[in-house]
Structure 1
Amino acid sequence: MASNVKGPAIFLAQFAGDQAPFNSWDSICKWASELGYAGVQIPSWDGRLFDLEKAASSKDYCDEIKGVAAGHRLTITELSTHLQGQLVAVHPAFDEAFDAFAPAAVHGKPSARQAWAVQQMKHAAKASQHLGLTGHVSFPGALAWPFAYPWPQRPAGLVETAFAELGKRWTPILDAFDEAGVDVGYEIHPGEDVFDGATFEMFLDAVGGHPRCGINYDPSHFVLQQLDYLAFIDIYHERITAFHVKDAEFNPTGRQGVYSGYAPWVDRAGRFRSLGDGQVDFSAIFSKMAQYGYDRWAVLEWECCLKHPEDGAREGAEFIKHHLIRVTEKAFDDFAGGSVDQGKVNRMLGL
């Protein structure tokens, strides 16, 4: 336990747009820096900010991207391929909905869309290497999600087959990230086949315990499932390679609970909130991260059904900064100690 969590950083996906300062890499970096952020996580699919294919083929381009960030006193924390990762595995029920994540040329063509997504992931591995990154964040996709609730009864072998297929699709991608020296932190999230600790273990088995298979820890998704997000860190801390700092609340009523009756986000029992407005115990989370020596970035992911995003971003920088823990290098009771005296030790034990 020698290092400290880095931060604050911000995931730019929810802020990129067509209006200044959110419509170019330079201007959005300036905006983030002025809010007090030290790092930025890049949505690799957003051409207004980043060209993934160019980054995969040109280290010079990556040096330019890094230089712009550095000019605003920012570090690039990770690339995100949440949208592309989702398309590595899509159940047919969601084909039309998820086509929006891919270029028009592959709409209505699931096999072509999947091939495009796999290539995007391999581009991301190379681009991450060119940027000098050691971590990456993504989604694993889903084949079994429509069968998450066991009614009708699932036929024997359905879940096992789905995870075997996930493993088959992801192992070559993880190998590409391994060659690049980059860990992949999968965001554990309802709608993915990997949505809790048990399913992460199944996925990890399916990829043969791959050393690059990690977790993008986000407690908000655990609040909505009523999963113990602190115990999760105790169990899986060795696989946590990224950290989304996002708040949430769960307020069940006599009318709705975890499934929330198809309500819109603002009316759901479980909903995402801006940092400090929800129920997540971030003091305990940051303490756990310090305890286990997590030394990567704490990245704000803003998704709130009430507060304006710019307010959430402004408040989020200070919130994360306030929760960062500088890990002590000595014990608090060192003042009462002394030098090692084996004879004294033996006498105290009656030996």
Structure 2
Amino acid sequence: MANAIKGPGIFLAQFLDDTAPFNSLPAIAEWAAGLGYKGVQIPTWDARVFDLDTAANSKDYCDEVAGICAAHGLAITELSCHLQGQLVAVNPAYDSNFDAFAPAEVHGNPNARQAWAVDQVTKVAHASKHLGLAGAVGFTGSLAFPYLYPWPQRPSGLIDEAFTELARRWKPILDVYDENGVDMGFEIHPGEDVFDGTTFERFLSALDNHARCKITYDPSHFLLQQLDYLAFIDIYHDRISAFHVKDAEFNPAGRQGVYSGYADWTERAGRFRSLGDGQVDFKGIFSKLTQYGFDGWAVLEWECCLKHPEQGAAEGAPFIADHIIRPTEKAFDDFAGGSTDVAALRKMMGF
């Protein structure tokens, strides 16, 4: 039987809080299972649900974490290292903002912060192996994004040098992932140097087509860029290792478009929405991914500027479940077929 997309899963990062049931893994696992989720994607930077340092060195600890989830009928879909991956490459323009993603002892020290981030992302490879996971998810970080729009005109070679350096930083990390049998699904995301198909190809080329360099597919970021997110699957399906199910809408007006005039989220032309409230064609996406044999997890990443997260989570599980396609085992017109008769075939064609 053909494999189906797994799910529904939920990314826990946006729901963690200091109040129950969002302040511990057992409690949030029970909450997620109660909503109908079958898998959880775990943020590795949040000690309330995961101790990355211990997980990287202890399979027993990882078995305990997996057991907590399994007790509620949940699998772990992937480990996320988005925030740490962001810090592998930071343009100085963003130093103060991104310090918040790192521990206080490395604030104001970009080199120490980067070393910490590389260590963290590397530990995710080891922890993923201990959990029996085939892939992790994260960000590439960014060296060139402040120069996205070419005005003033970019100096010749600036972008090439940025991607050469980005690949230089990630190549040894991806080698560790390869040693552990784990893919890294980079989320294609504005704010990262890898934000669309062209930039992914540039990054992959600089990495000499590293086998562990994969994609976390999130159509919301493509809709806001006005990129053809269905054609993206046609082009890059063999590199898609993870799937964030997130909705968005783009409503250009006379006053703003893609760049949204620095407006707050509720006032932007492009906004993230809860599943079913936006414009993303999820029927088309689930059909395309099924067509190409994607059998990973469909994971809700909830981000909405209007709806309460608990409502979004409650609506998300049945939404994803309703879109998962059970692949057919036979052609719809098999009933009209027959056994192969080569002589008859040749006669039909006149030879």
Q: 1:218: which partner in 2?
A: 218
Q: Give the TM-score, by structure 2 length.
A: 0.99
Q: 2:182: which partner in 1?
A: 182
Q: 1:278: which partner in 2?
A: 278
Q: 2:30: which partner in 1?
A: 30
Could you list the structure 1 runs, at least 4 aligned residues long, displaced by more than 6 angstroms after superposition: none
Matches within 5 A, 1:215-254: 215-254=215-254
CA distance in 1, matches of 2:21, 2:270: 32
CA distance in 1, matches of 2:212, 2:2: 22
Give the letter for the 2:348 counterpart. Answer: M
CA distance in 2, matches of 1:2, 1:319: 22
Give the letter for the 1:321 counterpart. Answer: A
Q: 2:205: which partner in 1?
A: 205
How much does 1:319 deviate?
0.1
CA distance in 2, matches of 1:207, 1:83: 22
Q: 1:9: which partner in 2?
A: 9
Give the letter for the 2:141 counterpart. Answer: G
Q: 2:111: which partner in 1?
A: 111
Q: 2:313: which partner in 1?
A: 313
Q: 2:325: which partner in 1?
A: 325
Q: 2:59: which partner in 1?
A: 59
How much does 1:208 deviate?
1.0
How much does 1:2 deviate?
2.7
Q: Deviations over 1:278-333 (max 9, x none)?
A: 00000000000000000000000000000000000000000000000000010000
Matches within 5 A, 1:119-198: 119-198=119-198
CA distance in 2, matches of 1:43, 1:16: 10
CA distance in 1, matches of 2:82, 2:264: 22
CA distance in 2, matches of 1:302, 1:61: 28
CA distance in 2, matches of 1:50, 1:39: 15
CA distance in 1, matches of 2:16, 2:43: 9
Q: 2:301: which partner in 1?
A: 301
Q: Deviations over 1:58-97 (max 9, x none)?
A: 0000000000100000000000000000000000000000
CA distance in 2, matches of 1:312, 1:156: 46
SS in 2 for 1:224: helix
Q: Deviations over 1:83-112 (max 9, x none)?
A: 000000000000000000000000000000
How much does 1:135 deviate?
1.0
How much does 1:210 deviate?
0.3
Unaligned stretches of 5+ in structure 2?
none
Unaligned stretches of 5+ in structure 1?
none
CA distance in 1, matches of 2:206, 2:59: 33
Matches within 5 A, 1:253-264: 253-264=253-264
SS in 2 for 1:298: strand
Q: Give the TM-score, by structure 1 length.
A: 0.99
CA distance in 1, matches of 2:310, 2:267: 22
How much does 1:206 deviate?
1.1
Give the letter for the 1:38 counterpart. Answer: K
CA distance in 1, matches of 2:6, 2:178: 23
Give the letter for the 2:341 counterpart. Answer: D
SS in 2 for 1:8: strand
CA distance in 2, matches of 1:343, 1:207: 52
Q: Deviations over 1:144-185 (max 9, x none)?
A: 001010000111110000000000000001011111111110
Give the letter for the 2:172 counterpart. Answer: P
Give the letter for the 1:169 counterpart. Answer: R
Give the letter for the 1:258 counterpart. Answer: V
Does structure 1 residue 345 correspond to structure 2 residue 345?
A: yes
CA distance in 2, matches of 1:49, 1:256: 40
Q: Deviations over 1:119-149 (max 9, x none)?
A: 0011100000000000110000000001010
Aligned residue pairs, count: 351
